[in-house]
C-alpha cells in the first residue's frame, strides 16, 4: 500500500480559509473521503446536504482532533467513552452521545444526540488542528451512492461543489467507521465497521446490535445505500457461473465481483477477482464497485462473502448496495 501523504502548508491554508468562508472541503480519512464543513456554521452545513442530495433529517458525523474537545459538543460524557477512546481513537470508531445545546440542529438531524469521531489519517489530523474547531463530514459523494476512497472519486461526483480537495492518496481501510451509540441504556452497535463487535465488547462488555426502539438515526442506515448506478445482485459462489450463463443467453452484459478467478473466459463478462483476504477486499471494495459500474453491464453480480463476524462491515455494505427498487 502506498504511503499516506501529508498536506503542504499552502494546501492547509487554502482548506482552512475555505472552511472559515463557509465553503466545502473534501479531505481523506482512513475510512473514506469526507465532505467537510465548519460544524458551527449552519449555512455551510446546509450546503453539505445540498451538494450530496442528502435528506435533512440524516445526521452528520462531527470530526475532532482530540477527545479533550468533547465537552464542547456533548451534554454528558458516559463512562464508557474513556476506555473506548484509549482503545480506538484516533481511529475508525464513531460514538453517538447526548448532544450539548450548542450543537446546531442541522448537524444532528434535529435529534438530541450527536455522532463524533477522531480520525487517524495524518492529513485529517493536520486539517482539524489547523482549523481549530469541529468539522462535520459525511462521505464526499452523492447520497446513497458508493463512497469515495480516492480524490478522483470526489471530483467525479461532486465537481465544483467542493472548494478544495486535499489529496491524501487512497483511504487505508476503505469502508465507513463503526458507529456505536452510548445514548441509551446499553451500548448499541448501529453500523458495523473495521472496529468489530468483539473488539468493542473486549473493552466495555456486552454490546447490542442493530437499531432498537428509539435508537438514533445514523449515517448509512437506510435499506438502500452504497449503491452503484448499475443494479447489484449477491449470488452464492456455487451458483455464480450458472447465473452468468443465464444472463448471457438473454443477451445481457455482466460485471462480476468475486473472490476467485473465473472458471472460463466469456465474452460479455467483466470480472474482478478481489481475493479472499478481508483487509484487501474491504480496502478495494468501493473502487472495485466503481470500476464495475463503468463496465457497461446490465447487472453487477457479487459473489457472496463469508459469514464470519469479521466480514460484517463488508456484508452490510454489499447487502445495502444490492437493494434495487428499480
SS (H, E, C) 291-303: HHHCCCCCEEEEE
Question: Are 178 and 312 members of one domain?
Answer: no
Residue 186: C-alpha distances to residues 69, 191, 201 (Å): 24, 15, 12
Q: Which of 194, 209, 224 is the last residue of a domain?
A: 209
Give me the pLDDT at residue 214, please: 83
Q: Cell digits for 121? A: 489519517
Question: Are 13 and 118 members of one domain?
Answer: yes
The secondary structure element, H or E, covering residue 232 is strand 232-235
Q: Let me know how long the chain is.
A: 326
Q: Under 8 Å CB-to-CB from 293, ≥6 apart: which residues?
A: 146, 228, 229, 230, 255, 300
Give me the pLDDT at residue 213, please: 84
> Which sign does the torsion angle of CA 163, 167, 168, 172 carry?
positive
- Per-residue pLDDT tens over the stretch 165-210: 999 999 999 999 999 999 988 999 999 999 999 999 999 999 999 9
Question: Are 241 and 147 members of one domain?
Answer: no
Q: Is residue 1 part of a domain?
A: no
Assess contact for 218 and 190: CB atoms under 8 A: yes
Give me the pLDDT at residue 326, please: 43
Q: Is residue 157 part of a domain?
A: yes
Question: Are 205 and 251 members of one domain?
Answer: no
pLDDT tens digit at each of 326 positions of the chain: 455 678 899 999 999 999 999 999 999 999 999 999 999 999 999 999 999 999 999 999 999 999 999 999 999 999 999 999 999 999 999 999 999 999 999 999 999 999 999 999 999 999 999 999 999 999 999 999 999 999 999 999 999 999 999 999 999 999 999 999 999 889 999 999 999 999 999 999 999 999 988 899 999 888 889 999 999 999 999 999 999 999 999 999 999 999 999 998 899 999 999 999 999 999 999 999 999 999 999 999 999 999 999 999 999 999 999 987 44
Question: Are 199 and 105 members of one domain?
Answer: yes
Q: Cell digits for 61? A: 458525523
Tell me how many domains the chain contains.
2
Q: Is residue 251 part of a domain?
A: yes
Beta strands in 112-193 (DSSP E): 113-117, 135-136, 164-165, 178-181, 188-191
Range of the domain at 316: 232-321
pTM for the model: 0.95
Question: Are 151 and 269 members of one domain?
Answer: no
Give me the pLDDT at residue 223, please: 83
Question: Are 172 and 255 members of one domain?
Answer: no
Residue with cell 453517538: 96
Question: Are 203 and 245 members of one domain?
Answer: no
Question: Are 271 and 192 members of one domain?
Answer: no
- Per-residue pLDDT tens over the stretch 85-101: 999 999 999 999 999 99
Q: Is residue 215 part of a domain?
A: no
Q: Is residue 227 part of a domain?
A: no
Question: Are 93 and 145 members of one domain?
Answer: yes
Give burial (CB, 10 Å; 0-12/13-18/19+) of 21: exposed
Question: Are 192 and 241 members of one domain?
Answer: no
Give burial (CB, 10 Å; 0-12/13-18/19+) of 199: middle
Question: Are 72 and 106 members of one domain?
Answer: yes
Distance CA 203, CA 258 (A): 34
Q: Is residue 217 part of a domain?
A: no
User: Kindly report the CA angle at 39 between 38 and 44, in degrees rounded to 5?
Assistant: 55
Amino acid at each position: 500500500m502506498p504511503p499516506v501523504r501529508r498536506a503542504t502548508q499552502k494546501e492547509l491554508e487554502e482548506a482552512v480559509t475555505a472552511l472559515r468562508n463557509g465553503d466545502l472541503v473534501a479531505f481523506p480519512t482512513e475510512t473514506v473521503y469526507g465532505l467537510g464543513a465548519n460544524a458551527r456554521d449552519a449555512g455551510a452545513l446546509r450546503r453539505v446536504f445540498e451538494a450530496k442530495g442528502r435528506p435533512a433529517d440524516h445526521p452528520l458525523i462531527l470530526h475532532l482532533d482530540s477527545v479533550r474537545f468533547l465537552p464542547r459538543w456533548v451534554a454528558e460524557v458516559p463512562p464508557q467513552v474513556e476506555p473506548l477512546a484509549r482503545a480506538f481513537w484516533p481511529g475508525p470508531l464513531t460514538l453517538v452521545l447526548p448532544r450539548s445545546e450548542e450543537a446546531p440542529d442541522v448537524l444532528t438531524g434535529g435529534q438530541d444526540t450527536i455522532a463524533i469521531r477522531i480520525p487517524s489519517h495524518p492529513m485529517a489530523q493536520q486539517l482539524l488542528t489547523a482549523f481549530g474547531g469541529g468539522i462535520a463530514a459525511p462521505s464526499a459523494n452523492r447520497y446513497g451512492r458508493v463512497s469515495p476512497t480516492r480524490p478522483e472519486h470526489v471530483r467525479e461526483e461532486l465537481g465544483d461543489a467542493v472548494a478544495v480537495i486535499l489529496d491524501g492518496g487512497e483511504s487505508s481501510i476503505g469502508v465507513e467507521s463503526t458507529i456505536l451509540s452510548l445514548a441509551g441504556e446499553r451500548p448499541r452497535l448501529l453500523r458495523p465497521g473495521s472496529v468489530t463487535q468483539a473488539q468493542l465488547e473486549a473493552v466495555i462488555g456486552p454490546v447490542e446490535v442493530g437499531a432498537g426502539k428509539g435508537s438514533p438515526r445514523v449515517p448509512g442506515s437506510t435499506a438502500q445505500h452504497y449503491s452503484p448506478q448499475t443494479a447489484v445482485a449477491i449470488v452464492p459462489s456455487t451458483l455464480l457461473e450458472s447465473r452468468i450463463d443465464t444472463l448471457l443467453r438473454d443477451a445481457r452484459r455482466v460485471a462480476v465481483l468475486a473472490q476467485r478467478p473465473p472458471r472460463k473466459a466469456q465474452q460479455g463478462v467483466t470480472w474482478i477477482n478481489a481475493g479472499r483476504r478481508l483487509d484487501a477486499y474491504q480496502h478495494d471494495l468501493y473502487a472495485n464497485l466503481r470500476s464495475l459500474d463503468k463496465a457497461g453491464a446490465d447487472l453487477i453480480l457479487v459473489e457472496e462473502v463469508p459469514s464470519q463476524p469479521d466480514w460484517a462491515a463488508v456484508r452490510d455494505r454489499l447487502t445495502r448496495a444490492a437493494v434495487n427498487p428499480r
